[in-house]
Chain A
Amino acid sequence: MDDLSNMFFEPTRRDVLRWGVACGAAGALCHATSASTMAQDVASGLELTGPKLEGVARNEAMFWEKLDEKKVKCVLCPRECVVADVERGYCGVRENQGGKYQTLVYGALCSANVDPIEKKPLFHYQPGTTAFSIATAGCNIECKFCQNWQISQFRPEQVNSVLVTPDRLISACKARRSPTIAYTYSEPVIFYEYMHDTAALAREHGIGSVMISNGYIQEKPLRQLCKHVTGVKIDLKAFTEKFYVDSCAGELQPVLKTLEILRDIGIWLELVVLIIPTPPRRRSRWPSGWSSTSVRTCRCTLRVSIRRTGSRTCRGRRYRRLSGAAGSRSMRVCTTSTPATCRCTPARTHTATTARKS
């Protein structure tokens, strides 16, 4: 009966005006929200201008071994690619030229922006400050839900880049009064050499460096890097090997090992657990021994991705369950996207002072 009455309802002029105003307000709100939600890092303009790079920026790579027949073995990440002459590793940015391994992205920045540090996200590392955020093309895993796939899953020749030396980057960072450089957007492990040199130089200038990474890196390069960077954020994509293999073309165990190493080193560490609405996953299991209150964990929900469609924002049961699983281990859980509304009570917050000390 109600349905029928709705069908024959005749709106007055006042009703139409009321609805119009309501729709307009809702539309404006949605637009503002979706604009920030859907914004992708790769869509942002470069903060730096410089010589436009034609081709690639070659430099000798770090962490590789010579093999016979001009082959090399890369020992930067757990993948340990064996690369023949003229071929590239899985990441697409490290190439064997005549038996010598080279990085093709040294200073080849395809993205540079001044972001709030919380966008990394790092919610407890100098909150309220900005991070000069940079990236090159390439990644050492292939997540089907990648949000920055336009740069992470392409090779250096296939994206627009500018050539920026470490000292020029430091100058630009100072000019914009950013206390931190964030190596982010794609996967900083694959531009390790540039990150390493820049972080070392930045430290001399009192500028912090944070690596926003998937944690897919070997122990030796990680320990060497941690002498220079001041903070690390690791994306823990899932809690099962199967998910890592099927959806990320990677492995879980090396990431867990990275977390252990970072904890041993004592560097500032925050974890992000990405919640993907589909498909269903097994109950989350935190690595044993992970009850340290010094580790912060936050949730990020999926936005625009590369090969996964039909995604939606997840705020439901699984979200609450994951929060509970983490919380039960006495981990600090931050479930919001802005520090102002964050309800977690961190043991301490990384400040500029602690950054310099560490």
Chain B
Amino acid sequence: MSTQSNRRRFLAQMGAAAAGMALPTSRVLAVMAGPDKRKSRVVITRDEALTHGRPAEHRDLLRKLLDAAMQRLTDAPDAASAWRQVFDHGDRVGIKVNTLGLSTQPAVVDAIVAGLRKAGVSAEKIIIWDRFDVELDAAGFTLNKSVRGAQCRGTDAERIGSGYQRQIETSGRIGSSFSRIVAEEVDALISVPVLKDHNLAGVSLGMKNFYGAIHNPNKYHDHHCDPYVSDVVSHRYIRPKWKLSICDGTRAQYNAGPGYHPGFAWPFGGLIVSTDFVAADAVAADLLDAQRKEKGLKTLADDGRPAKHIATAGTRGLGEANLARIDRIEV
């Protein structure tokens, strides 16, 4: 009797374990590959209304657009299940914004937080972060270091230097201390860059955004930031945790970045969303190049600053950099 009971329990446990292992794998595969199993999927969602007024005036519209993009990305029947396909309710999620120069719009981040809540992620498990408090504040984010609600803070929020790990991590050619937020406090990451030009890297998008996770980004801008960007995002603190890239194109800039230059501002009025962060950057860089051509400027490559880091990331198998192999979907 006891033997039968144990065997049955054993079999049940094995079955449960197998199901548990199979579930996330199939979920990830479904999201990564989309309906066309060979192609990475990038969803571009735009609305003319976003080009007028301030993005903060369009919070509801941004939520709708983002939910629609997530549904299209995952082929889920509704927004909640779309978000659930990418995030688990137990995830501690770090939203890495970009507040240098033309910065991520808080309204876009609000839409992301709303989406995560649909996946069952509690607000207390969400951290909106960048390098410094002062930069977040200047970009219009409301700092929140309390235990209630989504936190919003810089890496150096508490004490000078305390926000970075004490030891140096190496990855490829880089040697850096990583932000404790990305290293210790979160297990899922969303990169929310701005669709913008960069005078050295060519573009400053989702991958380059993680320069804000290391203490010494100034050391890695030679050779168009290549291969340093790939080195940073390849690190174990970032690559396994990075689940979603949402490029904020509500306000874009096609030249003279990353500082804000009104003369090169571009009211793109949309978002670029993908679970393949290399594909998202490749499509965004292509959009910037198209806009540059339209405005009579040289392409990034002809301007002597090709976005080499995207190609390198593709070569290293971090994602798809070949535009011909990316399923670009406009919503």
Contacts and interface: CB of A to CB of B under 8 A. Distances in A.
B156 A158 contact: yes
B254 to A, nearest CB: 13
A160 B219 contact: no
Interface in A84-113: 84-92, 96
A23 interface: no
Interface in B225-245: none
A159 B156 CA distance: 10
Given A84-B199, A87-B259, A155 B175 contact: no
12 contacts: A70-B259, A84-B200, A84-B256, A86-B258, A86-B259, A87-B100, A92-B216, A92-B218, A154-B161, A157-B160, A159-B160, A307-B170
A201 to B, nearest CB: 28
A266 interface: no
B266 interface: no
Given A157-B160, A160-B161, A70 B219 contact: no
Contacts of B261: 69-70, 85
Interface string A140-159: 00101000010001110111
A154 B164 CA distance: 10
B63 interface: no
Contacts of A158: 156, 160-161, 164, 215
Contacts of A306: 168, 175
Give the one of B100, B161, B164, B198 with max A CB within 10 A.
B161
A84 B156 contact: no
Nearest to A99: B259
B176 to A, nearest CB: 9
B80 interface: no
Contacts, number: 74
B221 interface: yes
B258 A249 contact: no
Given A89-B218, A155-B216, 15 more contacts: A55-B134, A69-B255, A69-B256, A70-B261, A84-B257, A86-B100, A142-B175, A154-B215, A155-B215, A157-B156, A158-B164, A159-B160, A159-B161, A160-B161, A307-B170
A307 B256 contact: no
A70 B264 CA distance: 13
Interface in B271-328: none
A159 to B, nearest CB: 6
B101 interface: yes
A335 B216 CA distance: 35
Contacts of B200: 82, 84
B225 to A, nearest CB: 12
Nearest to B264: A69
B175 A90 contact: no
A86 B219 contact: no
Given A86-B101, A154-B215, A70 B256 contact: yes
A253 to B, nearest CB: 17
B132 A157 contact: yes
A84 B219 contact: no
Given A86-B100, A89-B218, A154-B215, A144 B259 contact: no
A144 B174 CA distance: 11
Contact of A84 (B215, B218, B222, B258): B258
Contacts of B216: 92, 142, 153-155
Given A154-B161, A158-B160, A82 B199 contact: yes
Given A84-B199, A160-B160, A90 B258 contact: no
Contacts of B101: 85-86
A332 interface: no
A84 B102 CA distance: 13
Given A157-B132, A158-B161, A85 B259 contact: yes
Interface string A224-259: 000000000000000000000000010000000000
Contacts of B222: 90
Contacts of A86: 100-101, 258-259
Nearest to A55: B134
A71 B199 contact: yes
B217 to A, nearest CB: 8
Nearest to A68: B256
Closest 4 CB pairs of A and B: A85-B259, A84-B199, A92-B218, A86-B259
A270 to B, nearest CB: 29
Contacts of A89: 218
B52 to A, nearest CB: 27
Given A159-B161, A307-B168, A307-B175, A249 B219 contact: yes
Interface in B104-159: 132, 134, 156
Interface string B182-225: 00000000000000001110000000000000011011011000
Contacts of A144: 175
A112 B101 CA distance: 35
A32 to B, nearest CB: 26
Interface in A299-343: 306-307
A70 B199 CA distance: 11
Nearest to B163: A158
Contacts of B156: 157-158
